[in-house]
């Protein structure tokens, strides 16, 4: 398995359990030996393992909100918690569209935060992960991204309550 991975991806690689959060079970591998150890370690947390090629670039995130009709916040940069991220309007629109597309692809409901990498030199966008239960305190990135997009914390809470009602309303 290590040889097959080595043929398709370049070092460094990041190995992580598929369904774990908060960086649990994640390791960086710079050699075949480290890759093998990281796979064994990640398998202690999940039977599905993700292996990703390291990307040299910027990490950005976008909050999404909705059930059937989904909206995306402005794009924020993770490194310095810069909201909005210092990126072109064209790149911002593409990330927001990709965030909505990813959310719909997993049949997301309510809220999620989609994290991306922007590769240095090419500006190629890579989806890093979808956080289906992002932090939601008044200082968390999810509400801050929407606040910077013109939606207050109170409005966001009210919208989420309405969305949860939509999800569970049944016709009799």
List, as one string, the DSSP characters of 69-103: SEEEEEEEETTTTBSS-S--HHHHHHHHHHHHHHH
Q: Using CA atoms, how far apart are residues 120 and 125, in angstroms rounded to an integer? A: 10
Backbone dihedral angles phi then psi of residue 140, each to the nearest 5 degrees: -75, 155
Q: What string of pLDDT tens digits covers the 172 residues of the chain?
A: 888 998 999 999 999 998 776 678 999 999 999 999 999 999 999 999 999 999 989 999 999 999 999 999 999 998 777 899 999 999 999 999 999 999 999 999 999 999 999 999 999 999 988 999 899 988 899 999 999 999 999 999 999 999 988 866 555 5
Sign of CA dihedral 141, 147, 149, 152: positive
Are 110 and 92 spatial neighbours (Cβ–Cβ below 8 Å)?
no
Q: Using CA atoms, how far apart are residues 141 and 75, in angstroms rounded to an integer? A: 11
Identify the H or E element spanning 41.
helix 32-42
**Predicted pLDDT at 6:** 87
**Predicted pLDDT at 18:** 84
The DSSP string of 151-168 is: --HHHHHHHHHHHHHHHH
130-157 as b/e, with b when 16 or more CB fall inside 10 Å?
A: bbeebeeeeeebbbbbbbbbebebeebe
Give ∠ CA 128-91-120 in degrees, rounded to 5.
Answer: 60
**Predicted pLDDT at 23:** 73
Q: Using CA atoms, how far apart are residues 158 and 128, in angstroms rounded to an integer? A: 29
**Predicted pLDDT at 165:** 87
Q: Using CA atoms, how far apart are residues 85 and 83, in angstroms rounded to an integer? A: 5
């Amino acid at each position: 398995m290590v040889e097959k991975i080595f043929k398709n991806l370049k070092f460094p690689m990041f190995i992580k359990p598929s369904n774990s959060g908060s960086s649990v079970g994640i390791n960086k591998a710079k050699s075949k030996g480290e890759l093998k150890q990281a796979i064994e370690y990640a398998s202690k947390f999940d039977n599905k393992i993700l292996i990703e090629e390291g990307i040299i670039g910027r990490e950005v995130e976008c909050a999404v909100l909705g059930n059937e009709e989904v909206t995306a916040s402005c794009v924020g940069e993770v490194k310095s918690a810069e909201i909005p991220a210092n990126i072109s309007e064209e790149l911002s629109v593409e990330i927001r569209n990709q965030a909505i597309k990813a959310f719909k692809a997993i049949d997301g409901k309510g809220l999620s935060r989609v994290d991306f990498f922007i590769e240095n030199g090419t500006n190629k966008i890579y989806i890093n992960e979808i956080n289906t239960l992002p932090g939601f305190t008044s200082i968390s990135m999810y509400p801050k991204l929407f606040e910077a997009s013109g939606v207050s914390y109170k409005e966001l809470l009210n919208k989420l309550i309405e969305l949860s009602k939509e999800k569970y309303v049944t016709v009799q």
